Amino acid sequence: MLRRTILKTGAAFAVMAGLATGASADIDGPVNYIIPFGPGGESDISARLQQPFFAEKFGQEMVVSYQPGGGGAVGWASLNGLNGDGQTIMGVNLPHIVIKPAQKDVGFTTDGLNTFYMFHYTPDAIVVPAGSPYQTLDDLVADAKANPAQVTMSGSGKASANHLAQIKFDKMAGIQTTYVPFKGTGASVTALLGNQVKAQWGYTTVGAKQGDAVRMLAVAMEERHPLFPDVPTFKELGYDMTGGAYRGIALPNTASAETTKMWSDMIGEINADPAFRQKMLDGGFALLDVDAGGMADFMAARSAEYLNDAREAGLIK
């Protein structure tokens, strides 16, 4: 049995009170890590990277399972009906958990999810095939200005991080491109490589996976990604644009404060491991460290930006 009782300054009384009522912050046996999508996507890949580090550090298995449907909504709608004892956790994604409940009733609310850590994001990137005539971002922008709506760009779904990035960039650049949504990043890449579209709103992970088959024109990061030192950021090119698809983990909202804090500390410990960080960077991910204590401010800032962009684009009322 793994026992990680949190007895830190300012938290000791709350933990002791929780234990007195039977709310134990322990992990006893394998953890069910639910990914609310199918296998093979970035959420699955990052969870698989976490697995061996969790076993090594905490002596228990992290068993990944899948509950796809509704672009994640089926899983998130079921989360708060699960046991909050700490043996079950679920992946969460931004902007999905903000935009979906703003569009319609999907069985969950953003604030109703007990998100306790955001550990990485996949930065938005404009990707073109290696043989594309677009050598630079300026080339794509020039074509889009000369030929409004003729530059087609694939992306992962409607109202996704890719879609919001396309909307934001078109406005910044004063252009009109045509966004073509596909069911997931994989299908979006297939369309790109098959020359069904001229470019893709993808992620740095696409560059990492596809290698020389593609060229990234810009990435939405504060600084260049270490795996792609030759690819400029949008900011370098005059566009104040950072972000992408953020991924984290949530517990059922019945989980106690000490269980939530315990999990936040454990995922933070994995995220701080140099070997884990290197594996994530090698995969094209960008590391992020927002723990349970910083989650409210982080979510408020991201939610405000997403909702504003979505309203301007007519994706929500």
* Cα angle 59-61-65, degrees, rounded to a multiple of 5: 160
| Number of CB atoms found within 10 A of residue 38's CB | 15
Looking at the fold, whether 183 and 279 belong to one and the same domain comes out as no
Looking at the fold, whether 109 and 129 belong to one and the same domain comes out as no
The residues pairing with 5 across neighbouring beta strands, listed in sequence order, are none
Whether 271 is in a domain gets the answer: yes
The CATH code of the domain that includes 27 is 3.40.190.150
Domain residue limits at 70: 2-121+244-312
Looking at the fold, whether 72 and 173 belong to one and the same domain comes out as no
**pLDDT tens for residues 277-297?**
999 999 999 999 999 999 999
Looking at the fold, whether 131 and 186 belong to one and the same domain comes out as yes
Looking at the fold, whether 270 and 174 belong to one and the same domain comes out as no
**pLDDT tens for residues 51-97?**
999 999 999 999 999 999 988 999 999 999 999 999 999 999 999 99
In this prediction, residue 22 carries a pLDDT of 30
DSSP 61: -
Read off the tokens for 193. 């490589």
Q: What percent of the chain has pLDDT over 90?
A: 81
Read off the tokens for 308. 């504003």
pLDDT reading at 6 higher than 50 = no
Looking at the fold, whether 188 and 201 belong to one and the same domain comes out as yes
pLDDT reading at 12 higher than 60 = no
Looking at the fold, whether 117 and 6 belong to one and the same domain comes out as yes
Report how many domains make up the chain.
2
Looking at the fold, whether 151 and 140 belong to one and the same domain comes out as yes
Whether 317 is in a domain gets the answer: no
Cα torsion angle, 95, 90, 4, 258, sign? positive
HSE on the CB side for 188, CA within 13 Å? 29
Looking at the fold, whether 117 and 248 belong to one and the same domain comes out as yes
Looking at the fold, whether 177 and 213 belong to one and the same domain comes out as yes
* Residue 312: pLDDT band with limits 50, 70, 90: confident
In this prediction, residue 215 carries a pLDDT of 98
**pLDDT tens for residues 217-271?**
999 999 999 999 999 999 999 999 999 999 999 999 999 999 999 999 999 999 9
Whether 227 is in a domain gets the answer: no
DSSP string, 178-247: EEEEESSHHHHHHHHHTTSSSEEEEEHHHHHHHGGGEEEEEE-SSS--TT-TTSPBTTTTT-----EEEE
Among 204, 219, 234, where does a domain finish? Answer: 219
Read off the tokens for 134. 């677009």
Whether 229 is in a domain gets the answer: no
In this prediction, residue 3 carries a pLDDT of 42
The CATH code of the domain that includes 168 is 3.40.190.10
In this prediction, residue 5 carries a pLDDT of 36
Strands (E) across the chain are located at: 2-3, 26-27, 31-35, 62-66, 88-94, 114-129, 152-156, 178-182, 199-203, 214-219, 244-251, 286-290
Specify the length of the chain in residues: 317
Residue given tokens 């939530």 in the structure block = 260
Looking at the fold, whether 250 and 208 belong to one and the same domain comes out as no
- Report the mean per-residue pLDDT for the chain: 90
Whether 34 is in a domain gets the answer: yes
Q: Confirm if 170 and 196 have CB atoms less than 8 A apart.
A: no
Whether 206 is in a domain gets the answer: yes
Whether 238 is in a domain gets the answer: no
* Residue 313: pLDDT band with limits 50, 70, 90: confident
Cα end-to-end span (Å), the chain: 49
Among 186, 219, 252, where does a domain finish? Answer: 219
Whether 279 is in a domain gets the answer: yes
Q: What average pLDDT does this structure show over 162-185?
A: 93
In this prediction, residue 49 carries a pLDDT of 97
Looking at the fold, whether 104 and 137 belong to one and the same domain comes out as no
